[in-house]
Structure 1
Amino acid sequence: MSAEVKVLSASTRTNLEALKHHMKKLGFKYYEEKDGWVTFGTHLMMNGEGVAPDDCISISVRFMDVHADLWDFDLISKLPEVKQAILDFYEAEGIEE
């Protein structure tokens, strides 16, 4: 029995590092990469299953899908900049749809 581990390419890692840097400037911290999704949050909170990000944005590394869960008005006002950072990531990855 073997477990398949999907490793991101070097170019995707580079593009992800650029996205992490931009999101950090906007007030988000990198939280985790899981199942093809990368999640950024403002801080961590305890939930019934352990630790999870609060006020978070998750993006798909392989497809153009975004999930945002924001309650802080200051963060909501940053959404245009967040959107552009994510679009720049997808453009660098060659993802158009």
Structure 2
Amino acid sequence: MSTEVKVLSTSTRTNLEALKHHMKKLGFKYYETRNGWVTFGTQLMLGEKRVSPSNCISIMIRFMDLHVDVDDFSLICKLPEVKQAILDFYEAEGISDED
């Protein structure tokens, strides 16, 4: 577990665990929390001398921001469910798009 996760509040850690569980059911693995970003992906790939997740979805846990890089059609079809899981996380955290 990274240092970032250790300093999160208990409620945020609980909400993050719920998001991880939901994303796992949708076929995404949790990879890391770094600089306030949580990253999910389907597999690791090597590129430009670094290892990074492919079919990647990253969310900012402090405010509403999202990055999606998905090129697998079976995963693209799941994006509405992914969006809802992320919105549920933000709602549980009390974060709105107006923040």
Normalised to the residue count of structure 2, the TM-score between the two structures is: 0.90
**5+ residue gaps in structure 1?**
none
Q: What is the DSSP-based 3-state SS (H/G/I as helix, E as strand, rest coil) of the residue aligned with 1:53?
A: strand
Q: From the CA coordinates, give the structure whose radius of gyration is larger.
A: 1
Aligned twin of 1:96: 96
**Following superposition, which runs of at least 4 residues in structure 1 exceed 4 angstroms of deviation?**
none
Other structure's SS at 1:19 match: helix
CA distance in 2: counterparts of 1:45 and 1:71, whole angstroms = 14
Residue matched to 2:18:
18
Q: Which residue of 2 aligns with 1:87?
A: 87
1:60 maps to what in 2? Answer: 60
Q: Secondary structure at the match of 2:55?
A: strand
> Aligned pairs, how many?
93
Aligned partner of 1:41 in structure 2 is 41
Q: Percent identity?
A: 73
Structure 2 residues without counterparts, runs of 5 or longer: none
Backbone CA RMSD of aligned residues: 1.1
